[in-house]
Amino acid sequence: MAPIPAIKAIFYDLDGTLRLSQPSGLSAFAAQTSSLGQKISPDDLSRASRWEHYYFAESPELISDRAEYSDGSRDFWAQYSLRQLQVLGVAPKEAHEWAPKISAYMDKHYQPEDIILDEVYTTLRELRTRGYALGILSNRFEPYTDYLAEKGLTASFDLVVHAGEAGIRKPNPQVFDYLLARAGFSAAESLYVGDNYYADVVGARAAGLYPVLYDREQAFPNPDCSVISAHPQLLDLLEGRK
């Protein structure tokens, strides 16, 4: 593969890409579902992971749930749990019975470790050395600069944008247009790395950026875009070695 041409700026998603939760919410949710007697296969988990990404990419289901329930409320998460149980293959009767119980369990007991892998820091330093401009665009609606400072990432990025600034979230290409206007680069000069195919790849591509899917768990088989499963692989991709 020839090197990706003319890339001057590399932008990242935050949650699920630079920042990970261990254990993941899905793995904790699936473990609790299994404890209630539901058998869950690796294929079930992959399907549920793709659905989770789809749901949070401003899906019609998410928009409907926000309209019916207060976003982030107990009722919202109980409805989300019901949808996730159905995707995992739980029968309707059990899904309706288990959803509020699992939602309450997750709210009380799910306390993941917030981590940034060492490879993130080393890759960002190498990209800096190679002369790329670096930025972040997150679907968060509130600033997260304090978090970046806490994690020692402030100096790694020239620009940090949250979707609340633009008043719209990925995958809407307008939020990428806002990012590019702030950054001063054209779409053709820009690459975007994110873990959510439906929000990050679809949105970045629609805005003209070069999309790269970060798929650490290989949840998306044969996607129609460049894929990395570890951050240093981006360096090879930029040089046409992947």
State the DSSP code for 15: B
The residue whose two tokens read 């630079």 is 18
Instruction: For domain 9-19+116-238, give the CATH superfamily.
Output: HAD superfamily/HAD-like (3.40.50.1000)
H-only helix segments in the chain: 25-35, 42-55, 60-68, 74-87, 92-109, 118-129, 145-150, 163-166, 173-183, 202-206, 233-238
Handedness of CA 126, 127, 132, 138 (dihedral sign): negative
Handedness of CA 67, 165, 196, 109 (dihedral sign): negative
Q: In one letter, which amino acid is 119?
A: E
227 versus 2: the higher-pLDDT residue is: 227
How many beta carbons lie within 10 A of that of residue 75, not counting itself?
14
Q: Token pair of 179, please?
A: 């990012």
CB 47 within 8 A of CB 171: no
pLDDT at 26: 97
Handedness of CA 165, 168, 174, 179 (dihedral sign): positive
Domain layout of the chain by residue ranges:
9-19+116-238, 22-109
pLDDT, tens digit, for every residue of 87-105?
Answer: 999 999 999 999 999 999 9
pLDDT range class, residue 4, cuts 50, 70, 90: low
pLDDT above 70 as % of the chain: 97
pLDDT at 1: 42
Nearest to 15 by CA among 138, 199, 115, 153: 138
Q: What share of the chain is helix, strand, coil (3-state, %, to 5)?
A: 50, 15, 35
pLDDT at 71: 85
57-62 average pLDDT score: 97
pLDDT at 6: 84
Nearest to 211 by CA among 221, 196, 222: 196
pLDDT range class, residue 239, cuts 50, 70, 90: confident
- Taking 80 as the threshold, does the pLDDT of residue 48 lie above it? yes
8-26 average pLDDT score: 97
Helices (H) and strands (E) in the chain, counts: 11, 8
164-173 average pLDDT score: 97
pLDDT at 2: 46
Would you give the distance in Å from CA 206 to the centre of its chain?
A: 17
State the DSSP code for 101: H
Nearest to 139 by CA among 217, 67, 192: 192
pLDDT range class, residue 5, cuts 50, 70, 90: low
